[in-house]
Amino acid sequence: MAGFLFHDLIFGPVRSRRLGLSLGINLLPTNKKFCSFNCIYCECGWTLPVDTELRELPSPALVYEFLEKRLKELAAEGYLPDVLTYAGNGEPTLHPEFAEIVDGTIALRNKYAPEARVSVLSNASMLGNPKVVEALKKIDNNILKLDAGTEKMFRLINNPGPLFDFDRLLANLRQFNGKLIIQTMFLRGEYRGETVDNTTEDEVKAWISHLTEIRPSQVMIYPIARETPLQNLQKIGPEELEKIAGKARVAGIEVKVFT
């Protein structure tokens, strides 16, 4: 199976193409992916069935202990990160104590790295949970996924559960009143006998229409950068990404292209 896992609770800092020098916080198992989606492009590979081991998530106390230790080390080295990023082996907001961990992370950031921004890379699947929403509102870079303009393409690319509602996802993204960043992966390929392509004129038009209602502070678009679990997905080139970005900018949306 394609993909790699983060085997530490705190990892890095690593150089992020979008965020700068990023200290990663993995709230998920260190031996398996744990996610609510099964995206065809995920660098961690396919999502496995949930078992009891996957529910053995780090406690807030353990997160604080490891994060404080690493921040102290980096401060002593004069190598503090630009961002503290919830990322890792799946969807960070699945952690049942995500809100409490956010509060503790902000306190440690303020103490050891006050210039750093707290960030999250999320698939937005847990926005029906009020505690998760309130926690995300406290985060400096609230980066949420929207990879498609239509429900059909959303299901082909992101593979949510059968009961997950695309229209509800869009409504949940609107509730932030613009205090969010949208991230979108553009790609082409084939999955289960269906054409996958979120770069078509109709898909891009629908995607932009959603963005005008969500009103994000910024949109990040990017191509495949690592091996994917679904083989033969096509990486979209920078010129084509810039054309898509240009269409969104005409609609008044701030877009940054990362290649």
What pLDDT is recorded for position 50? 64
If pLDDT is split at 50, 70 and 90, which confidence band does 52 have? Answer: very low
Residue 84 near residue 113 (C-beta atoms within 8 A): yes
Using alpha carbons, list the distances in angstroms from residue 70 to 8, 12, 29, 78, 94: 12, 9, 19, 12, 24
Backbone angles phi, psi at 55, to 5 degrees: -90, 0
What pLDDT is recorded for position 17? 81
What pLDDT is recorded for position 162? 87
Backbone angles phi, psi at 225, to 5 degrees: -120, -20
Nearest CA to 123 among 91, 155, 170? 91
Alpha-helix residue ranges (DSSP H) falling in 28-162 = 60-77, 98-112, 130-138, 151-158
Mean pLDDT computed over every residue of the chain: 94
Q: Is residue 220 one of the residues assigned to a domain?
A: yes
Instruction: Please tell me the total count of domains within the chain.
Output: 1
Q: Is residue 5 one of the residues assigned to a domain?
A: no
What does the alpha-carbon distance between residue 27 and residue 98 come to, in Å, rounded to a whole number? 8
Q: Is residue 236 one of the residues assigned to a domain?
A: yes
Q: Looking at residues 162-183, what average pLDDT do you find?
A: 96
Higher pLDDT, 136 or 18: 136
Q: Is residue 110 one of the residues assigned to a domain?
A: yes
**pLDDT tens per residue, range 202-237:** 999 999 999 999 999 999 999 999 899 999 999 999
Q: Is residue 2 one of the residues assigned to a domain?
A: no
**pLDDT tens per residue, range 26-45:** 999 888 889 999 999 999 99
pLDDT of 58 over the 90 cut: yes
Structural domain that includes position 203: 10-257
pLDDT of 4 over the 90 cut: no
Q: Is residue 42 one of the residues assigned to a domain?
A: yes
Percentage of the chain modeled with pLDDT above 90: 85
**pLDDT tens per residue, range 86-127:** 998 999 999 999 999 999 999 999 999 999 999 999 999 999
CATH code at position 65: 3.20.20.70
Q: Is residue 4 one of the residues assigned to a domain?
A: no
